[in-house]
A and B are shown apart, each in its own frame.
Chain A
């Protein structure tokens, strides 16, 4: 059974108010083509769970986030995500600020259909103060330890980007780090996997060993082929992070006027138009890329 669909078709299955998990990490292997498709849709009022990067930044800039569940948002080579910092400073969305490990355990709990998992992280920190809904749990064994009950982060949908996938939803990472994309898919009621290239199932192991097969088909609803689809984040070994473009993005984000012209130039058309504008940017960066 083929699950191949377009990015638009995947986004058409999402609705406003959903809790959406986004894979990758910071400015690494983010499903940016799916995020761009989301920007072109009228889906909004989202709760977003993410190891945040420019995915969260773009959605925040478009006013589509009601609540963010995250430990951070970063562009990696640029420490702070400018749209996220600006949105936070104007109180544009609610925040559930969790420790990195609490996010991992929350996704694991959701994937395992558990209400919570105990973690040490969070005790004594202001994560407990700013999240009054968090509870602790006491070990029933002799140690009697009191730990944080990291609540399950169950998702309505997950968006992830991998290097390869087959039409059935078996998906493969070829870079150094799987991040948490399998957990995002398992924690979600529906998961949409974009990939650099769709290949025949029989060809999946031509590139790498079986342990690179990160996501299994029962956890995947749709497969979208989006070459350069993680741009401008990294997607090793298919493409690195586009640092000049990321710098231009971050510079443009500092001011509403320059952001408008950046959006006009790169985000006003479809994915083909975006990729063409990026190619043109590298031929002649213009004032956004001047450095």
Chain B
């Protein structure tokens, strides 16, 4: 049974929540949502998930389906309060991300008069300063992985350090998953490092699609294989409609 690129991406996202304990998983995007559900059904059973609205749900339905069991109430005001407690690991998207993990979802170009207005900062500043944050980038390119982001929404390691102890106290960028591989900031200067390649992807391919110099270890492992049970859960239980391939088509 051939594992697809989208399925490696699901594994890559799911791994963000390994050993997370009883925290809220806040996945944004289809593949992260599948990943969070897979993590909860396998190696991170303590995770809390929401229905995308105001309920915490105890069961794990397929993506796009309604959950049946509510275990808690999490309207926006309590969600924002939960962020401040730190009991959460969010996986956000990024229109731009730089080598220190600064992320932009607000606008492209000059903030005063943007070329392209995007979402706005949303909760990226509060997220990155309060709870572990990871990123999911479905199309790895030099337009997204840039030398400098146009507007710092999610705070990276250099900016957190410059802002002082209150900014660094709970700041932790866990990992960045893309359609090409997995990245982290486990380097002496906290710049982005290639952690694993999805099978079929080369180091050169990643370097070419990245707009800054990545730290590339001498030996780069491949993203791990899904277990047969994980594959079955992805294909039959969590994403039977194959929504994952709409976000990550086969190369």
Q: Which residues of A contact B (CB under 8 A)?
A: 25, 51-52, 70-74, 79-80, 84-85, 88-89, 91, 97-102, 104, 119-127, 129-130, 145-147, 176-180
Contacts and interface: CB of A to CB of B under 8 A. Distances in A.
15 contacts: A25-B76, A71-B121, A73-B120, A80-B119, A89-B115, A101-B80, A101-B84, A101-B125, A104-B80, A121-B125, A123-B164, A124-B128, A146-B165, A147-B166, A179-B77
Contact of A120 (B53, B77, B117, B170): B170
B139 interface: no
B137 interface: no
A98 B153 CA distance: 10
Given A104-B80, A178-B75, 20 more contacts: A51-B76, A71-B120, A71-B121, A72-B120, A79-B119, A88-B117, A89-B113, A101-B83, A120-B166, A121-B125, A122-B126, A123-B155, A123-B160, A123-B166, A146-B164, A147-B166, A176-B53, A176-B54, A176-B75, A177-B53
A124 B117 contact: no
A205 B124 CA distance: 38
B165 A70 contact: no
Interface string B156-167: 000110111111
B1 interface: no
Contact of B114 (A71, A88, A145): A88
Interface stretch (B15-23, B104-112, B199-207): B104-112
A120 B84 contact: yes
A234 to B, nearest CB: 10
Across chains A and B, which 9 residue pairs bring their CB atoms closest together, nearest first? Answer: A72-B120, A121-B126, A124-B163, A176-B54, A88-B117, A177-B75, A124-B155, A85-B117, A101-B126
